[in-house]
Amino acid sequence: MLKGKTILITGGTGSFGKAFLEEIILNHSPKKVIIFSRDEYKQHLLSKKYPPSLYPIRFFIGDIRDKDRLYRAFEGVDIVVHTAALKHVPLCEYNPIEAVNTNILGAQNIINAAIDKGVKKVIAISTDKAVNPINLYGATKLVMEKLLIAANAYVGTKNTLFSVVRYGNVIGSRGSVVEYFLSLKKEGIKEFPITDIRMTRFWITLKQAVNFVIEAIDEAVGGEIFVPKIPSMKLMDLVKAIEPECKIKIIGIRPGEKIHETLISEDEARNTYIYKNRFVILPQFGWKNHKLEKYKKGKKVEDGFIYRSDVNPDILTISELKKIIQKFQPQIS
């Protein structure tokens, strides 16, 4: 699906965007990759690693809030992977209209530009926080999902397909809890702050996330939400894996935070099918896409099913967590 195609990545200088770029450049022979983001310094650093004179990569400074810039950037593009978003939960709460402008109105700009410019497929990256959201960031990502899925109903003769990939925390990404705890260990701090000892989280590696999105690009027919089968971890087990001798300071749940994360709600389960390495959530509302019927050959999840981090059958052990963390800090034993 990617070979010989022109691919544009919004937010392409972020953790996922850089990992996705590396994978497709090394292994999928695209015609061209366009990195679209508003951080000129990160683009500069990325262009030093991948000089446009040696790689089929182009760098576009732009903001998804700017519809005209998107129209220019989407010229001749086959596939859009949409990762750009305001993601910091407290900052979104204190700057709500900024989150709306980027995560919702920006998504609508992408939809309009993709349809009008004849993009073949758009895959948007979402988050567990979009499920039963309790913070503004999650609410904006829920609306983003709804906009992308509904866009399939009014593409007309352009045949642009819109689908969503939804997953949980990325291990070792910038600002992750692993990075934070490892920094405390490096500084010699022996007391780790824990919000709640019951807390659990889904985990996915960057490589897994990238490969899953590539699978979704191949598979998508428009209107699906793809959810990977991924393991969970207990926060207390993570602490023990990083620094077994540390003391614990309970600081309480932060505003907008959940004790457990949900990737598929009980209500969504009514339209969810299970496969070997993923779930596929089909649209709940009335427009029809006969190509979606292919998923009904799969097994529907049981009534009352919920995909939540604490009831996930695949929960990482302390030993497994240590092996994963060693990839980020080899000296951890």
Active-site option among 18, 129, 141, 234: 129
If one counts every other C-beta atom within 10 angstroms of the C-beta of residue 120, the result is 17
Distance separating alpha carbons of residues 168 and 170, to the nearest angstrom: 7
Side-chain half-sphere exposure of 199, counting CA atoms within 13 A: 19
DSSP string, 237-299: HHHHHH-TT-EEEE--PPTT--SS-EEE-TTGGGGEEE-SSEEEEPP-SS---GGGGGGGGSE
Phi, psi of 79 (to 5 degrees): -135, 135
DSSP string, 32-50: EEEEEES-HHHHHHHHHHS
Task: Check residue 302 and report its DSSP letter.
Answer: P
Percent helix / strand / coil, the chain, rounded to 5: 40, 20, 40
Tokens standing for residue 160: 């642009």
Containing H/E element for 92?
A: helix 89-94
Contact between 34 and 73 under an 8 Å Cβ cutoff? The reply is: yes
Tokens standing for residue 146: 């709804």
Distance separating alpha carbons of residues 150 and 111, to the nearest angstrom: 10
Distance separating alpha carbons of residues 83 and 126, to the nearest angstrom: 8
Distance separating alpha carbons of residues 136 and 163, to the nearest angstrom: 22
Q: Is 129 an active-site residue? A: yes
Q: Over the Cα atoms of the chain, what is R_g?
A: 20
Task: List the catalytic residues.
Answer: 129
